[in-house]
Amino acid sequence: MFELSTQGQEFVKKELQRYETVESAIIPSLYQVQKENDGWVSEEAIGYLSDFMGIPAARINEVFHFYTMFNKKPVGKYHVQVCCNVACAMAGTREMTKTFLDEYGVKEGEVTEDGRFTFTKVECLGACDKAPMMQINEDYHENLTPESARQLLKELK
Amino acid sequence: MEVKLLSEHYGDDNFKTLEGYKVKGGYEVLPKALKMKPEEIIAEVKASGLRGRGGAGFPTGVKWGFLPNNGETRYLLCNADEGEPCTFKDRMMMEKAPHQLIEGMIISAFAINSPKSYIYIRGEYTYAAKVVEKAIKEAYDAGYLGKNILGSGFDHDMDIYRGAGAYICGEETGMISSLEGKKGQPKLKPPFPAVQGYLKKPTIVNNVETLAAVKYIIRDGADSYKKHGTEKSAGTKLFSVAGDVNKPGNYEVPLGYPLLDLINNECGGIKEGRALKAAIPGGTSAPIITAEEIEKATLDYECLAEMGTMLGSGSIVVMDDTRCMVDMMKVISHFYHHESCGQCTPCREGTGWLHKLVSSVIDGTASVSDIDLLCEVANKMKGRTICALSDAAALPVLGIVPKFREEFEFFIKEGYSKVKGRANA
């Protein structure tokens, strides 16, 4: 059974008070659930949140499915999001992603066998002057080379 | 030549703190503004010629003037959902100069008599959100936010709201939907947000750079601000430059600055001495311009509009002669297909068609007549939807395809890129 930590529950309660409408608390609360649920949000967690917030599950689902940053299925410990929009694509990120997928033997969006990685191609992350770049969990990694990127992944245990 | 108004202190790491900001004259404009009449501030902003820096370029003071005097609570929303591909000016401002934005926002809120504002920050910008949230707390502790600000009798509360990954939330009514806890789908206009916005209350939505510029307009006066730029495009503007230049980055130049000078001087010219081929002048929604056009282009609203493109958010992608335009088109079309909110049929279906068609050129399943079909679909997507995303997806096609048609024809006939060659097929 999914349940938010005491701290998580306090957070959601505060968010419910923070804005002019309680529904504005849905996005921040989904972030909290994702943080406490290994980086993704399950159907069960939506049900829990619905009860906890007093907002219909359908209403939460509507928001949940609209935004790309909420993961709909399990992700690896490190969610590697490689920007493949214009500036980064020009700097070779599509090819770089392919080498990651080949090396770790997964398809885009899958979790590696050891649970460490999920690789996703994403749209512009607003760091185009430092292309090629990727985001691992919350952190930006910029001015990559194929070698530096590979080394970075190797060091993530 | 760069003219650093907004970006003057970007090099100072301490500028993001309240203390560091105050050393450089931070929060010295606020007391001055609070002694003015709100209508005087609005008049000054109108006189400055400041236009929205997020992409649409609408005159800021005029937008403020649309607020009805009906006694309803007014909201100020700062659009920090910077999502236009290749734009990174607002992120940098939030990370390096959050108090400059906050001071500009308090002045703007006072001008429009708003007790509450939100900074809607793009979900991916977690670091920027942390910096801004900390700065807001500092501003509260110092008495610049909250009740009776600096003894003026003006109350104002400010908060941040984080998006969660949706380009469409950069559209002002999409942002309002998102802030209201809904899907970030745009709303039909009119009513415009100034009349009926957040929670159906009068709402002003302004970009990060726009609100920060207000501070400098009040500090120096409209006449001083207008000394920079052209008659119809006043002031300085931050340009995010990326792609095949030696020194990509954010540069603040007066509007009207020649694009080629920005590329060759500030950005150090084209990488590895290769030849300039084209540039996207205002985010990927702006139609591409060729090297020949770049020579005549100045960075202002009117010149780029005359060229059939736009200044947009001020993000420039420079491409050298090794770039395949079919490939670039595919990347751009993929983006809009991914980001269409699905509400309007021409956009939901059209963005998919565009991406499929351009992909079929690369996959070798297209025929030459598909090039015309690509333009036909794009033409049918324009002006038929609630918001501008559909146009934003169509316009790049209508720029790239006619200007580089021979590259599309070559790809279809030969099965590989004219630029990259058979070896890279």
Interface membership of B411 toward A (CB under 8 Å) = no
Q: What angle do CA A135, A138, A139 make, to 5 degrees?
A: 55
Kindly tell me if the per-residue pLDDT of A81 is higher than 90: yes
Kindly tell me if the per-residue pLDDT of A1 is higher than 90: no
Q: Which of chain B's residues have a Cβ under 8 Å away from the Cβ of A33?
A: none
- Asked if this assembly's ipTM is beyond 0.90, the reply is yes
Interface membership of B248 toward A (CB under 8 Å) = yes
C-alpha dist (Å) from residue B40 to A130, B108, B111, B144, B202:
42, 12, 8, 21, 20
Round the average pLDDT of chain A to a whole number and report it.
97
What is the spatial distance between Cα A62 and Cα B206, in angstroms, rounded to a whole number? Answer: 27
Interface test with B, best of A67, A130, A138 (most B CBs within 10 A): A67
Q: Which of chain B's residues have a Cβ under 8 Å away from the Cβ of A22?
A: 181
Helix axes B405-414, B389-403, angle to 10 degrees: 80
- List the single residue in B with minimal CA-CA distance to A122: B335
Beta bridge partners, B77, equal: B118, B205
- The pLDDT value recorded for residue A31 is 98
Beta bridge partners, B120, equal: B79, B161
| Distance between A70 CA and the closest CA of chain B, angstroms | 7
Task: Pinpoint the alpha helices (H) of B340-388.
Answer: 345-363, 369-381
| Distance between B209 CA and the closest CA of chain A, angstroms | 15
Q: B383 with B349: CB under 8 angstroms? A: no
Does the pTM surpass 0.80? The reply is yes
Interface membership of B36 toward A (CB under 8 Å) = no
- Check CB contact under 8 Å for A126 and B125: yes
Interface membership of B368 toward A (CB under 8 Å) = no
Which residues, including other chains, have CB under 8 Å from residue B349's CB and lie 6 or more apart? none
Structure token pair of residue A77: 């410990």
- List the single residue in B with minimal CA-CA distance to A87: B243
Structure token pair of residue B258: 């020649």
Interface membership of B138 toward A (CB under 8 Å) = no
Q: What is the pLDDT along chain B (425 residues), one digit of tens a residue?
A: 899 999 999 999 999 999 999 999 999 999 999 999 999 999 999 999 999 999 999 999 999 999 999 999 999 999 999 999 999 999 999 999 999 999 999 999 999 999 999 999 999 999 999 999 999 999 999 999 999 999 999 999 999 999 999 999 999 999 999 999 999 999 999 999 999 999 999 999 999 999 999 999 999 999 999 999 999 999 999 999 999 999 999 999 999 999 999 999 999 999 999 999 999 999 999 999 999 999 999 999 999 999 999 999 999 999 999 999 999 999 999 999 999 999 999 999 999 999 999 999 999 999 999 999 999 999 999 999 999 999 999 999 999 999 999 999 999 999 999 999 987 76
Whose tokens are 């009926």? That residue is: B196
| Residue environment code for B398-412, b if the CB has 16+ CB neighbours within 10 A, otherwise e | bbbbebbeebbebbb
Task: Provide the 10 A C-beta neighbour count for residue B147.
Answer: 10
B351 exposed, middle or buried (CB, 10 Å; 0-12, 13-18, 19+)? buried
Q: Which of B164, B167, B280 sits opposite A70 (nearest CB)?
A: B164
Q: Which of A66, A70, A124 sits opposite B85 (nearest CB)?
A: A124
Q: Which of B178, B332, B339 sits opposite A86 (nearest CB)?
A: B332
- The pLDDT value recorded for residue B425 is 67
Residues in chain A: 157
Q: B236 with B216: CB under 8 angstroms? A: no
- List the single residue in B with minimal CA-CA distance to A18: B159
Q: Which of chain A's residues have a Cβ under 8 Å away from the Cβ of B359?
A: none
- Check CB contact under 8 Å for A128 and B166: no
- The pLDDT value recorded for residue B424 is 73
Note which residues in 108-127 of chain B have CB less than 8 A from chain A: 122-127
| Distance between B26 CA and the closest CA of chain A, angstroms | 27
Beta strands in B132-270 (DSSP E): 157-162, 203-207, 236-243, 249-254, 257-258
Q: Which of A27, A62, A87 sits opposite B317 (nearest CB)?
A: A87
Beta bridge partners, B249, equal: B241
